[in-house]
Amino acid sequence: MSIESDVRPASRERDAIVVRHLRQLILWPLQLVLQKPRGMHRPWEGLASITTNNPWQQLRDEFERDPEDFQERHYQEFITFLPFVQRFLYGSSVGRDRAEDGEPSIRVFRRRDIARVRNTYADGVTLEFGVVNVDLYFFLDVDVAIVAFEMYADDLPLERVQETLFRFGRAYPRFWDGSGHGGNCLRLVEWLDASGAVLATSDYDAKRKYLRHVGEHRAPCLAAHWEYLLRPLTPPESGDSGVPHFRQLEYYRMPFMAYLSLDDPTALTRSDFVRLALCTQSGAPGTMPFSEKSLEGFESNYCDDRYWGRDRASASGDTRILVSGRVLAVVGRQSDAFFAGRNTGLLGQFRHQFLLLFLIVHFHRAALLSLSDQLAVAMNRLVVGDTESVKRFKRGIRRAMEVFLRFTHRYWYHEVSDQDLARSLFSRLARHLDNETLYDEVRHEMLDMSDYLDSDSMRRQANTILRLTVVTIFAMIATIGTGFLGMNLIAAADQPFLWRVVFFLIVLVVTGGITAFTIIRSKRLADLLDVLSDERVAPRLKLRACLDSWRK
């Protein structure tokens, strides 16, 4: 759906290109800040436990319904992925007698109160978009959540589509222009319910609010409509207790997928494809947003053209897929059943298979960034010399290492499908996001932390062995001295029982005191043994070392 008012005059060339159907699907990765770290492996339980003013409801899995209701769309989606990815996305029937073995790795919550979005642009134009789904994904063992927001509209000018894709998914303004409006943001975004009532509006122009929030909390402030969408989840600085908290994890521009259906996609110029793939604002046709030199490898780096430029008699002759890591866009012909089919066509794949590909690769990145942040926070909280701080640091590092190990063996894949298109798209997305490099960096950080913990443990063991060695050496003197006599120093075998108990306690206290004193002075005594065993030290210095070992 689309409603437009106060349309400004546009060039005839731009008006000739109309996007017959647009879908924008935003993914917004967030880091969860959990109040009980031990409950990290089930972060959705905190949201599900809120019964007041909570619009999020958990979705039932397709596999939990009647098998007779299982649809072909679900089947095609399922067989797209390799078996280990299927277990990640849908759970597994293996080990169903044990709940934890068959537990799905993903939980999905959905809110249904937001039915439409009304966007107001800089030139006064107002458009309404239908909202398909507003979902919130949680992942087992990883303190990351991902918001998925899907909206659509019909019959929009290409220039307006470019502006929508460029300006809509902004968590907060990057700057403010001379008129006080949020830079690169829409003038106004409004969530509407089914009756058209306004649920929340954006506040990109509230400059003082954003500046004051950063100055007070050292964290960016979310726009009011996005903050409303996430409730009852709140930022940590809100001070709300008993509710899950979240923290911004990445860039303020949210990754998105876009589906553009046109009468003739070949009418798009190279600059149009560049603007779509690299998500830049609209511009004059034929003018590039970047230099020609920087775009020399654009087609090979960002375009999947297996269905582009084929024979016009072919059913899939004009479909181009654009991939740049943070953007996955498909452009094709409205009359092409291969492209526009809602179930077996590319539109169905876009909303399901492509969404899962995009979700997996951005989940990988978000999880790795979250783990790296946990390590940095643990290091910042470490106070060298504070025993309790060191203990907390070690516990935090061991917990992060455990999560990283589970992430590696449960979620980290280099391939997700044997189907050529899905495999190619996943590879391109991961390469543009540079997930391999990020994984190696986090892995080396984990190894550095592991080496520190191992070396600290070995140091403690060495100190313990040193103290035991010193105690053994000085105890050996007394053992040999008493053993040389070949008899007890005090013959108390014939004494009354009470006297023998008293003698035993006296000897126990004296022996324990000597042993404790030896342990307390074990470091000094160990240094003394080193001096005495060094043949290069003069006897006079050895005697002074003996005297120094008894001084405070």
Residues 117 and 255 in one domain: yes
What is the percent of the chain with per-residue pLDDT over 70, rounded to a whole number? 79
SS3 546: helix
Residues 198 and 305 in one domain: no
Residues 136 and 237 in one domain: yes
pLDDT recorded at residue 8: 38
SS3 42: coil
* SS3 of the chain: helix, strand, coil, percent, to 5: 45, 20, 35
- Quote the domain boundaries for residue 494: 465-548
Query: What is the pTM (predicted TM-score) of this model?
Result: 0.81
Residues 167 and 253 in one domain: yes
For the four alpha carbons of 272, 274, 278 and 283, in that order, the dihedral sign comes to negative
How many beta carbons lie within 10 A of that of residue 254, not counting itself?
19
434, two tokens = 């540079």
3-state secondary structure 421-453: HHHHHHHHHHHHHCHHHHHHHHHHHHHHHHHHH
Residues 249 and 283 in one domain: no
Residues 208 and 127 in one domain: yes
List, for residues 273-285, the tens digit of each pLDDT value: 999 999 998 888 7
List, for residues 244-263, the tens digit of each pLDDT value: 788 888 888 999 999 999 99
Residue 376 has pLDDT above 50, yes or no: yes
pLDDT confidence bin for 36, thresholds 50/70/90:
low
pLDDT recorded at residue 6: 35
Residue linked to tokens 């990145």: 365
Residue 99 has pLDDT above 50, yes or no: no
Residues 6+ apart with CB under 8 A from 364: 411, 412, 430, 433, 435, 439
Last residue of a domain, one of 283, 306, 330: 330
pLDDT recorded at residue 439: 92
Mean pLDDT value across residues 180-200: 94
- Domain contains 23: yes
- Domain contains 186: yes
- CA 224 to CA 201: how far, in whole Å? 7
- Domain contains 447: no
List, for residues 474-531, the tens digit of each pLDDT value: 666 666 656 655 556 666 667 777 877 787 788 778 777 777 777 676 666 666 666 6
- Domain contains 395: no
pLDDT recorded at residue 133: 93
Q: How many domains, the chain?
A: 3
Nearest to 472 by CA among 528, 546, 524, 525: 525
Residues 321 and 186 in one domain: no
List, for residues 324-370, the tens digit of each pLDDT value: 989 999 999 998 888 887 777 888 889 889 999 999 999 999 999 99
What pairing do the DSSP bridges indicate for beta strands 327-333 and 256-262? parallel
Half-sphere exposure of 97 (CA within 13 A, CB side): 0
pLDDT recorded at residue 488: 60
pLDDT confidence bin for 97, thresholds 50/70/90:
very low
- Domain contains 361: no
* Whole-number average pLDDT of the chain: 82
Residue 93 has pLDDT above 80, yes or no: no
Looking at residue 255, the DSSP 8-state letter turns out to be P
Mean pLDDT value across residues 46-51: 84
